[in-house]
Amino acid sequence: MGTGAFRLTDDQAAAFVRDGFVVLDGLVDPALFGPLRRCFDRLFRGEFETGVEPDEVNWQEGEGDSTLTRQICNGWRADRLVAATVLRADLGEAIARLAGWPGARIIQDNLLWKPPGARSLGFHRDNAYLPWYRPQEMATCWMALDDTSAAGGTVEFARGSHRWPDQGDSEAEFHAPQDHRTVVAEAAARNGADLDIVPVEVDAGGGSFHHGWTWHGSGANDTGTDRRALVMHCANSGARFHRPGFGEGNGPIYSRYAQPDDDAMDETHFPILWREDGYRTPGLTDPGRR
C-alpha cells in the first residue's frame, strides 16, 4: 500500500478499551479511492467480477428503494479489489490485538453506500447477531471512501456502551427507522448511563475500529454528497460453528457453509487474515496485487 502497512499505537489501543471504539486516519491508500468506488458502482449494478454472488445483496440499481442505504454483504467473494482490501493482514492483526485474540478471520464484509437523501440505519450491537458461532464475539474495522460528517450520516458510536452491564436485546428496526437512536437511548436508561454519541468525522481513507458490544448506527445523509464505506467484521481465528444458533441472527445465511459432521469454519469462506504464529490462509492477496 502507498500508505504502508497499518500499525496500531498504544494510545489507539487504550482508546478502544476505554471507549469501545477508536477513530483514526490513513486506513486506505488514496490511490485506491477511485478504483474502489468503481467497484461499488459495478457491484450495485449486479456485475460480479468473479462470477460469485455476494452472500447478501440488499439493494440493486433499478429496483432498490432510492431512499435506503445500499448494502452488500461479502462483496469480497464477488470482486478481487474489495477482497484485497478487506482481507489485509495488517488490519486483521490490528483487530486481533484490540480484541485480545490469537488471530482474526473475516466473517463478513459490508459495502455501505448512503447517497444524498438516504435514510438512517438504526443503532445496534454486532455481537447480538452472532448466536451461530462461538465464541460469540466480533470486532470491526470501518473504512470511509468519502469524506464523512455528522450531517452526511456517518457512523456514530455510543461511547463506553461496550461496558454497560445490561446487554439485553431491544427490538430495533435496522433499515430507515423513524429515530435511529431510540433503542440506544433506552439501553442507556436501563444502565443508568449518560448517552455520549460520537460521530466518525474523517477524510476519505480514515475510519474506525469498534468492539462487538458497542452500540452504533447512523443518521440520514442530509448533504449533497455520497457516503460510501467498506467494513470488515472479524471473529477470533479459532471460532467454530454453533449449531443451536443456526436459526437465529445471520445463522440461516452463513450456516450454509457448515459441514454436516464438522463445526470447523472452512477457510475458503471464512479466511484467517492474521494469526500470531505467522499463519495466514494461503492465496490471499493485498491491494495492488490482483
Which DSSP string do the residues of 177-212 spell out, in sequence order? Answer: -SSTTHHHHHHHHHTT----EEE----TT-EEEEET
Tell me the mean pLDDT in the region 116-130. 93
**Phi, psi torsion values for 103, nearest 5 degrees:** -175, 175
Q: Which of 90-99, 117-126, 202-211 comes out lowest in average pLDDT?
A: 117-126
Q: Is 251 helix (H, G, I), strand (E, B) or coil?
A: helix
Q: Which of 73-87, 171-185, 213-227 comes out lowest in average pLDDT?
A: 171-185
Asked if residue 286 has pLDDT above 80, the reply is no
Query: Which pLDDT score is estimated for 152?
Result: 97
The CATH code of domain 10-275 reads 2.60.120.620
Residue 170: Cβ within 10 Å count: 17
Q: Please check whether residue 223 is in contact with residue 152, taking contact to mean a CB–CB distance below 8 angstroms.
A: yes
Q: 104: buried, middle or exposed (CB in 10 Å: 19+, 13-18, 0-12)? A: buried
Nine cell digits for residue 136:
460469540
Cell 468519502 sits at which residue? 146
CA distance 250 to 126: 11
Asked if residue 1 has pLDDT above 80, the reply is no
Tell me what the pLDDT averaged over the chain comes to: 93
Confidence of residue 288 (pLDDT cuts 50, 70, 90): very low
Q: Please check whether residue 137 is in contact with residue 22, taking contact to mean a CB–CB distance below 8 angstroms.
A: no
Looking at the chain, the whole-number percentage of residues with pLDDT higher than 70 is 94
Confidence of residue 132 (pLDDT cuts 50, 70, 90): very high
CA distance 229 to 87: 15
Residue 53: Cβ within 10 Å count: 15
Asked if residue 167 has pLDDT above 90, the reply is no
> In the chain, where are the structural domains located?
10-275
Q: Which of 100-114, 171-185, 201-215, 261-275 comes out lowest in average pLDDT?
A: 171-185
Nine cell digits for residue 221:
445523509
Asked if residue 68 has pLDDT above 70, the reply is yes
Tell me the mean pLDDT in the region 84-109. 98
Q: Which of 8-17, 239-248, 279-288 comes out lowest in average pLDDT?
A: 279-288
Looking at the chain, the whole-number percentage of residues with pLDDT higher than 90 is 86
Residue 279: Cβ within 10 Å count: 12
Confidence of residue 175 (pLDDT cuts 50, 70, 90): confident
CA distance 258 to 42: 30
Nine cell digits for residue 282:
494461503
Tell me the mean pLDDT in the region 61-66. 83
Q: What's the pTM value of the predicted model, to 2 decimals?
A: 0.94
Q: Which of 113-117, 172-176, 258-262 comes out lowest in average pLDDT?
A: 172-176
State which amino acid sits at residue 253. Answer: I
Spatial CB neighbours of 282, under 8 Å, sequence gap ≥ 6: none
Q: Convert the pLDDT of each residue in 205-252 to its tens digit.
A: 999 999 999 999 999 999 999 999 999 999 999 999 999 999 999 999
Query: Which pLDDT score is estimated for 275?
Result: 98
Asked if residue 177 has pLDDT above 60, the reply is yes
The counts of H helices and E strands in the chain are 6, 14
Under DSSP, the state recorded for 249 is T
Q: Which parts of the chain are beta strand (E)?
A: 21-24, 56-57, 70-73, 103-114, 121-124, 133-134, 139-144, 155-158, 197-199, 207-211, 216-218, 227-236, 240-241, 272-275
Asked if residue 141 has pLDDT above 60, the reply is yes
DSSP β-bridge partners for residue 198: 157
Under DSSP, the state recorded for 44 is H
Cell 477508536 sits at which residue? 22
Cell 454519541 sits at which residue? 197
